[in-house]
Structure 1
Amino acid sequence: MAVLFETFLEWKEYCEKKNVPLYQPVLEYEIREKERTKEEIQTALENAFLVMKDAVKTGLHEDMTSRSGMIENGGKKVMKTPVNVLSEEFKLLVARALAAKEVNSCMGRVVAAPTAGASGILPGVLVTLQELHKIEDEKIYEGLLIAAGIALIMEKKSGIAGAVGGCQAETGTAAAMSSGAIVHCLGGNIDMIFNAVAITTQCMLGLVCDPVAGLVEVPCVVRNASAAAIANSSAQIALANVSGVIPVDECVDAMGEVGQSMEDRYKETALGGLAATPTGKSISKKVLISDIDIIDSSEE
């Protein structure tokens, strides 16, 4: 598959030269690479956003208890708590990001954006953004295209998989995608959008991937919520024209460099970090024994 652009700078220069919005070359890329019409891409965007909204709804209204027992309706509990740390909107943002990711942990239907392990971030961010600012669906779809363009470049420059670059690559990319989409939907220009991506990347830099028992549950679910919060704070900073100082391409290159230098135990192997704590090891043994028991009983 051909790349969209090698760098964010190329993407910006192309749009300025052609005098087209940031999402336009992404749309053209999708049409070219997927061999679909503009209408078919539009339908795909509509379907993707519907799945995101359904994941949020499912996570907040159905039982979300994972087989391991580590996930137990966290999104619902946050939504129902009477205590608001900041505001009702912030509480809902956290609840929605948790809920959508819990759907993935409970084997439900989600959009991998860019991965299943980060599938709660964009839904939590976009559903809350649309509700709060009464944003039209069409603008959200543009934001999704821009988010996809961000992911395509980050995939090439730094990687988007935890097994490649740690959790910074998964939740970090999803947060960067989300912050860019927020800024676009709220009227920010190209520099603001890319500055939001840069700031988000700086905030997520170095995060390891250390899933307890090798399951994409702990700490993955709560990191989706924190990444959603970082996406919003980065967008707020960027919309105020506060510079991240380090250009976006250099930030993403730094993420790639950090990912390459990480030891393997911090890259989805469940051999380091939280997975290697006494409690993490204990949970891993229980989950493994449970899985063996299920296999044995099914063979009888």
Structure 2
Amino acid sequence: MGFESMADMEKAAAAGKIPLWKAVMEEDMKERSVSMKETMDKMRERYQAMKQADTDYEENLKSFSGLSGGDGANMQRLVREGEAVSGGFMGMVVTRALKMGESNACMKRIVAAPTAGACGVVPAVFLTYEQFYGIPERTMTEGLFMAAGTGQVIARRASISGAQGGCQAEVGTASAMCAAALTSIRGGSNEQILSAGAFAMKSLLGLVCDPLGGLVEIPCIRRNVTGAVSAVACSDMAMAGILTRVPFDEVIDAMGEIGEMMPGGLKETSQAGLAVTETGKRVALDLAKRNQTPQC
């Protein structure tokens, strides 16, 4: 059944004198009645799928709507030319977040982390961190347990659905998962890990879900970039000893409450926000015309 709260996860880790990620792994072993090897292999399989999705990105592929495609390659060229002010590491985080979001829009295979709409955050940071710092794949896989456990608690206490809680529930959750997991991989204390997750979620509280034409493309893909970049910054703050004043569980509960208060038009219905700008209306009209045209 997983953990009811991050505090429960922390208690389980303390009782077993094990890291938070391992408490999540052991809970999975218990819940699914599998061995440590089986649960590690399953998580490694997910990480390999993230890597494959990154490798399989196609620069010239466009989504059916024509709204997405090629931007990941454009960003990568800027980084390779040394023109990215954000630098090599962060430039590649941005690049990979764009690539993953575009691949999702183009119906290619991705890993929902925790959802397809937020699929770019965790792999963008994880793959880039492994690449730049030479981290063993097993360590990165262990970090995914921390990410998964964090996402499970958020899903239980609040929501990971844009239709229920807005984009704060999707990209906000992904960013919190990523920040906590990255801090775990970096050897942060439990307090630092939970602070990083809390920082990331606090940074995106209230983020609405208002996609143009009802598609998970604009502004969703760029929001994955925001979530990924924020996760790195939040991990750095926590590793610097900056700690959250509001416990992570309370931040999660606040997110859930905000989602309930959010108008329905801002929860994936495309009835408000960017979706009803003049450009948004044109996109919706164009898509409607396309859908009425017989496809060969």
Tell me which interval the TM-score lies in, with the shorter structure as reference length. Answer: over 0.9
Aligned partners of 2:289, 2:188: CA distance in 1, in Å? 52
What amino acid sits opposite 1:280 in the alignment? G
What amino acid sits opposite 2:4 in the alignment? E
What amino acid sits opposite 1:261 in the alignment? M
Aligned partners of 1:80, 1:216: CA distance in 2, in Å? 25
More moved, 229-238 vs 29-38:
29-38
1:297 Cα deviation from its structure 2 partner = 4.5
Write out aligned runs for 1:1-300 (5 A): 2=1, 4-59=2-57, 61-81=58-78, 82=81, 83-293=83-293, 296-298=294-296
Structure 2 length as normaliser, TM-score? 0.96
What amino acid sits opposite 1:77 in the alignment? N
- Contiguous gaps of at least 5 residues in structure 2: none
1:203 Cα deviation from its structure 2 partner = 0.3
- Contiguous gaps of at least 5 residues in structure 1: none
Equivalent pair of 1:114/1:160 in contact (CA under 8 Å): yes
Equivalent pair of 1:211/1:268 in contact (CA under 8 Å): yes
Aligned partners of 1:106, 1:223: CA distance in 2, in Å? 17
Residue deviations 1:147-197, cap 9 Å, x none? 000001000111001011000000001011111111011111111100001
Aligned length: 293
1:28 Cα deviation from its structure 2 partner = 2.1
Aligned partners of 1:112, 1:12: CA distance in 2, in Å? 25
Residue deviations 1:10-44, cap 9 Å, x none? 21122112211112221122223333332222221
What amino acid sits opposite 1:68 in the alignment? S
Residue deviations 1:102-131, cap 9 Å, x none? 111100001100000000111101001111
What amino acid sits opposite 1:48 in the alignment? R
1:244 Cα deviation from its structure 2 partner = 2.1
1:63 Cα deviation from its structure 2 partner = 2.6
Which segments of structure 1 move beyond 4 Å, counting only runs of 4 or more? none
Equivalent pair of 1:56/1:97 in contact (CA under 8 Å): no
Aligned partners of 1:16, 1:144: CA distance in 2, in Å? 20
Residue identity (%): 35
Secondary structure of the corresponding residue to residue 110 of structure 1: coil
Aligned partners of 1:192, 1:11: CA distance in 2, in Å? 14
1:86 Cα deviation from its structure 2 partner = 2.1
Secondary structure of the corresponding residue to residue 170 of structure 2: helix
Aligned partners of 2:13, 2:34: CA distance in 1, in Å? 22
1:51 Cα deviation from its structure 2 partner = 1.1
- Alignment root-mean-square deviation, CA: 1.2
1:291 Cα deviation from its structure 2 partner = 1.6
